[in-house]
Amino acid sequence: MNYDFDWFYVKKGLPKLLEGLMVTLELTLWANAIGLVLGFLVALGMLTRIRLITWPLTAYIEFFRCTPALIQLVWFFFCVPILFNVWWSAEFMGILALGLNLAAFNAEAYRASIQSIPTAQTDACTALGLNVVQRIIFVILPQALLLSLPVLITNGIGIFQQSALVALISVQDLMYEGRYLATQTFRPIETLTTVALLYFAVSFPVSQMVTFVERRTSRLLQN
């Protein structure tokens, strides 16, 4: 392979890559906020026996789980303005699409965790006179979060990686800046390798946290 590596332009463009990384992290944080809250609400709705609630929620979950995130992102960016006559920024559309995608996956994690909570605790809530909201806030939510936390963190890492797709709708995230720098400098190997390392530098420590959380959770459940 006759290729001379030259990292000069990557070093020169590193500040722009770091700016893109900050945009990526911002997208990820907002998408996770939507995914955590909406996912829990969807899980609660799925546990009801009212078909007018469960059917639309099932359709929502299956749509976002069974279609590519890229299609969802592009659909939101191009179709929502046409159908609803709203003109939001590309960054907001990216957050919305990623957040709804994440919520669909988180909902299944929450639902499995809620169903694993012993029914004796529900009976205890009734005996204590707790209403539905109090049961959800003080009994169901803490345990659902604890039991599903490893899956929620893993899903969060996945959405961080999938956020690279927003570069296709001109959001100036890490992937966008990396692609632009590679095109301008004709150094795709050095640039995209650096971009990959930046994604890895964020994802790897968080992925290690999953193992730690799983161990802590198992100890708490055993006690």
pTM for this structure? 0.92
Q: What is the distance between the alpha carbons of residues 46 and 38, in angstroms, rounded to a whole number? A: 12
Query: Is position 176 within any domain?
Result: yes
In a domain, 3, yes or no: no
Residue 4 lies in a domain: no
Range of the domain at 115: 20-222
Residue 78 lies in a domain: yes
CATH code of the domain in which 74 resides: 1.10.3720.10
* 13 belongs to a structural domain: no
pLDDT in tens, 104-133: 999 999 999 998 888 888 778 878 888 888
pLDDT digit string, tens, across residues 155-186: 999 999 999 999 999 999 999 999 999 999 88
